[in-house]
Amino acid sequence: MPTIYKPPKMATAKKQLTETQLLADIKAQHFAPVYLLTGEENYFIDIVSDFFEQFTVPAEYRDFDQTILYGYDSDMRQVLSAAGHFPMMAQYQLVLVKEAQGIARDWDLLESYLKAPSEHTVLVFCYRHKKLDKRTKAYKAIAEKGVIYERNKLYDSQLPTWIAERVNEAGYSITQRAAMLIAEYLGNNLQNISNELDKIFISLQPGSVVNEDTIERNIGISKEYNVFELQSAIGKRDVVRCNRIINHFAANPKENPIQLVLPSIYGYLVKIMIYLQLQDKSEAAAALKVSPYFVKDYAEAAANYSLGKLAACIGYLHDADLRSKGMNSSGAVTDGEILKELIFKIIH
């Protein structure tokens, strides 16, 4: 009689997994029958999805046992039909549904499939940009039988820590100011940040430190003329340094758009206001959502500003924002002129 191959029994569903645990399980082929990758941060969804493609089915068998569908071109009946097949060559077949949020109807059919899911199939839904309704039968069935991996966008205050972790994972280290600088200039786009870091790594020796000089050479962000340095100069009420930075911004508006500068200054001034009102200054790092390394900078700035002055500065910022959008302005005025006037009002 022919030998009948039985794949290893699938792992018991885990209700909550860290990203590290999830990736380790995928690599070790400890699978649940179904996965829902969801949330507003697509970067993490893409990483986990890539791991499923890389480690579920061996490369030589993917033409036979790997099916990739797209939600906007498929319906749930097609997905479940593919999931019901047996693998031809590999231990498991992978059915990966990208843009699963595009499946407009019939999600409840998934509940019936998951009552007795195939032990040979790893079914993965990449539900991007938003979340599947937790009240649906489909969501509840996935939660019972499979794994739900949800990642929302990081807060801006979390970006420097994430950047440091990403750099450390690659075998390098980064200064706190360098991490802050990258976060400030590249914004909350993890894929963009990751791409820029990869460019930096190419030029470095293993174990190297990423600092402001590294960033200036590889990304083009000036270590001297940047929003982070402007914040520091505002905090010290350093007129000469503020003017030097603002003049550079005015001369290079594409590199330092006012739409980036104004929110940064606003966030900085708000943190000074928060620091001033803290009863227990030892809690400043947590209250400001910054590294303890930077608390001393806010303490120094708080000594130079009163709450009344800071409230007035917020008003100046609001007016500058309106003027940059063509409102409350008489005649043609450049963004550089708006910034110069704003900084003058803040520090005087």
Residue range 39-71, pLDDT digits in tens: 888 999 999 999 999 999 999 999 999 999 999
CB 323 within 8 A of CB 338: yes
Separation CA 153–CA 166 (nearest Å): 16
Of 152, 172, 329, 311, nearest in space to 258 by CA: 329
Separation CA 222–CA 252 (nearest Å): 11
Average pLDDT, the chain: 90
Of 238, 240, 296, 228, nearest in space to 268 by CA: 228
Residue range 258-299, pLDDT digits in tens: 998 999 999 999 999 999 999 999 999 999 988 888 899 999
What integer pLDDT is reported at residue 187 of this predicted model? 82
Amino acid letter, residue 267: G
Q: Evaluate whether the domain defined by 19-150 bears CATH number 3.30.1010.10.
A: no
Residue range 117-168, pLDDT digits in tens: 999 999 999 999 888 889 999 999 999 999 999 988 888 888 999 999 999 9
Amino acid letter, residue 276: L
- CB under 8 Å, gap of 24 or more: what pairs does 157-164 form? 157/289, 157/290, 158/289, 159/183, 159/188, 159/193, 160/291, 161/291, 162/190, 163/193, 163/197
Q: What is the pTM of this model?
A: 0.76
Burial class (CB in 10 A: 0-12, 13-18, 19+), 12: exposed
Q: Where are the beta strands (DSSP E) in the chain?
A: 34-39, 66-70, 93-98, 121-128, 147-150, 173-174, 209-210
Separation CA 242–CA 205 (nearest Å): 36
CATH number for the region 156-218 comes to 1.10.8.60
Residue range 158-195, pLDDT digits in tens: 899 999 999 999 999 999 989 988 988 888 889 999 99
Write out the two tokens for 195. Answer: 């791409």
**Which one has a higher pLDDT value, 37 or 11?**
37
Question: What CATH architecture does domain 227-347 belong to?
Answer: Up-down Bundle (1.20)
Residue range 196-240, pLDDT digits in tens: 999 999 989 989 999 999 999 988 888 889 998 999 999 999 999
Amino acid letter, residue 117: P
